[in-house]
């Protein structure tokens, strides 16, 4: 979206048309909508802006639920926005720590600020991009005077009266559409500035889940977060926002319910053991937080092989922090042997998972003979030094 489209959109006519068109479910509907709007005499800028918003509102429903139907977006802003259920959990931490006013530095289209304001906190929302700041102001307007939106840089923001800050450094080049990823040293605001501010002011810093662990500042809490199996972010908490004696945590959200494991340091791995009756795959947030060992001990499990995250046990235990599979059969990772097992178990639908072996699951799937009526999971991994295939069922 450019400034001309924004100007056309933020009018009574533009906003009316966006609400009238509503979310677009099918790509084929776009051409019909464009033709109708142009036939009704609307300008090209307005038609482009309305259709873009209709498509983005459809995509935004997975992050913002019913709120998406009244919000405005850019493509880049939506991609980088925090899911509302996650933003709300972040906001609880600020509230419970006694924070009253929070500066959201790099607010984007306003997702995290919505979470903060929704819990009654005062918010100063700042973004360096003028179009994005304007959309944030629109999205945050329902919260009234409790939210102030500014167009400006994080470094130039006056933090007088602010109790804590939320920082989401720009990790992509400037723009509202598809943009390239930046190296950590190119982020805006600069990472060094961000960490220096967090050492002086209680802060939450949103980073990518693959962020270099060696760059995490000391005396902070690093929290990896996953939602429904996808590891989405790392948040570094400082000051009173970091929990005492917690340096590593993994927050796993499944179906709207949260589960967490915390530790004062990386957990020591459990020993490798013989393959048992069950295989467990730790959630990605647990793996990133290096808390596999702590989770394994609760399951009475050991590692299948060094260097892979798969666990194995004989105890009939599971956890929301792992996916658990009951072993049917173990065999060498050889295609004829696997196809024979699939036939003998009457398997026609297969889920393929792999760790520790150089196999492309999509290519491997095409070589499988799936002619039965049953379904199963095929786990391709190592058992000690052996490459094995484990036919299993989800627990």
101 and 68 in one domain? no
**Residue whose structure tokens are 């142009």:** 38
Report the number of distinct structural domains present in the chain.
3
68 located within any domain: yes
Q: Are residues 373 and 327 in the same domain?
A: yes
pLDDT for the residue numbered 28: 65
Q: Is the pLDDT of residue 173 over 70?
A: no
Rounded-to-integer distance, Cα 45 and Cα 168, Å: 30
Cβ neighbours around 319 below 10 Å, total: 18
pLDDT value at position 177? 55
The candidate with the shortest Cα–Cα distance to 139, out of 204, 256, 57, is 57
Which among 44, 73, 102 is the end of a domain? 73
Task: Note whether 241 and 126 are same-domain residues.
Answer: yes
Paired tokens of 357? 């072996």
254 and 124 in a common domain? yes
Among 235, 263, 291, identify where a domain stops: 263
- Does residue 284 share a domain with residue 259? no
Q: Which structural domain, as residue segments, surrounds residue 22?
A: 3-73
The reply to whether 269 falls in a domain is: no
Residues 256, 157, single domain; the answer is yes
The stretch 33-50 carries a mean pLDDT of: 88
- Read off the pLDDT of residues 102-154 as tens digits, 9 standing for 90 and up: 999 999 999 999 999 999 999 999 999 999 999 999 999 999 999 999 999 99
| 102 and 221 fall within a common domain | yes
- pLDDT for res 27: 65
Rounded mean pLDDT of 223-238?
97
Q: Which of 230, 263, 296 is the last residue of a domain?
A: 263
* Same domain assignment for residues 35 and 140: no
| CA trace torsion 85, 86, 90, 91 (10° rounding) | -20
- Residue 20 belongs to some domain of the structure: yes
What pLDDT score was predicted for residue 156? Answer: 96
Which pLDDT tens digit goes with each residue over 185-197?
Answer: 778 899 999 999 9
Whether 340 is in a domain gets the answer yes
Q: Does 37 map to a domain?
A: yes
Report long-range pairs for 51-60 (Cβ below 8 Å, ≥24 apart): 51/21, 51/24, 52/1, 52/5, 53/9, 53/18, 53/21, 54/18, 54/21, 54/22, 54/23, 54/24, 54/30, 55/24, 55/30, 57/22, 57/23, 57/24, 58/23, 58/24, 58/25
Residue 318 falls within a domain, yes or no? yes
Cβ of 45: how many Cβ atoms within 10 Å?
18
Name 292's bridge partners. none
Residues 47 and 60 in one domain: yes
pTM of structure: 0.90
Model confidence at 9, in pLDDT bands (50, 70, 90)?
A: confident
Taking 80 as the threshold, does the pLDDT of residue 183 lie above it? Answer: no
Point out the least confidently predicted range of 34-38, 58-62, 96-100, 279-283: 34-38
Flag whether 272 is in a domain.
Answer: no
- 36 with 170, same domain: the answer is no
**The pLDDT of residue 87:** 97
One domain for residues 128 and 251: yes
8 in a domain, yes or no? yes
Does the pLDDT of residue 364 top 80, yes or no?
Answer: yes
133 in the same domain as 258: yes
């Amino acid at each position: 979206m450019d400034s001309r489209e924004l100007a056309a959109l933020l009018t009574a006519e533009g906003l009316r048309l966006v609400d009238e068109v509503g979310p677009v479910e099918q790509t084929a509907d776009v051409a019909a909508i464009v033709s109708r709007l142009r036939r009704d005499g609307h300008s090209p800028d307005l038609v482009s802006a309305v259709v873009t918003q209709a498509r983005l509102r459809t995509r935004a429903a997975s992050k913002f639920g019913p709120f998406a139907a009244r919000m405005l977006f850019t493509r880049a802003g939506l991609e980088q926005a925090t899911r509302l259920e996650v933003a709300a959990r972040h906001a609880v931490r600020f509230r419970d720590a006694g924070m009253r006013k929070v500066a959201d530095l790099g607010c984007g289209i306003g997702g995290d600020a919505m979470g903060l304001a929704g819990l009654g906190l005062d918010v100063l929302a700042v973004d360096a991009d003028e179009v994005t700041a304007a959309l944030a102001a629109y999205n945050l307007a329902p919260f009234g005077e409790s939210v102030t939106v500014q167009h400006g840089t994080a470094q130039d923001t006056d933090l007088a009266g602010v109790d804590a800050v939320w920082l989401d450094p720009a990790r992509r080049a400037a723009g509202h559409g598809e943009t390239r990823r930046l190296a950590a040293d190119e982020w805006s605001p600069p990472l060094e500035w961000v960490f220096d501010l967090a050492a002086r002011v209680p802060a939450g810093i949103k980073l990518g889940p693959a962020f270099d662990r060696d760059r995490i500042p000391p005396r902070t809490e690093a929290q990896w977060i996953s939602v429904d199996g996808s590891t989405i972010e790392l948040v570094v908490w400082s000051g009173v926002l970091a929990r005492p004696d917690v340096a590593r945590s993994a927050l796993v959200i499944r179906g709207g319910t949260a589960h967490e494991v915390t530790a004062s340091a990386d957990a020591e791995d459990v020993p490798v053991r013989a393959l048992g009756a069950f295989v467990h795959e730790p959630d990605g947030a647990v793996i990133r937080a290096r808390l596999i060992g702590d989770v394994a001990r609760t399951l009475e499990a050991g590692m299948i092989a060094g260097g892979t995250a798969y666990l194995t046990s004989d105890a009939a235990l599971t956890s929301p922090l792992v996916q658990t599979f009951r072993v049917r059969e173990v065999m060498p990772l050889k295609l004829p042997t696997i196809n024979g097992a699939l036939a003998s178990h009457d398997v026609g639908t297969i889920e393929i998972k792999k760790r520790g072996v150089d196999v492309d699951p999509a290519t491997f799937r095409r070589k499988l003979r799936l002619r039965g009526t049953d379904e199963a999971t095929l786990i391709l991994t190592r058992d000690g030094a052996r490459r094995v295939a484990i036919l299993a069922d989800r627990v």
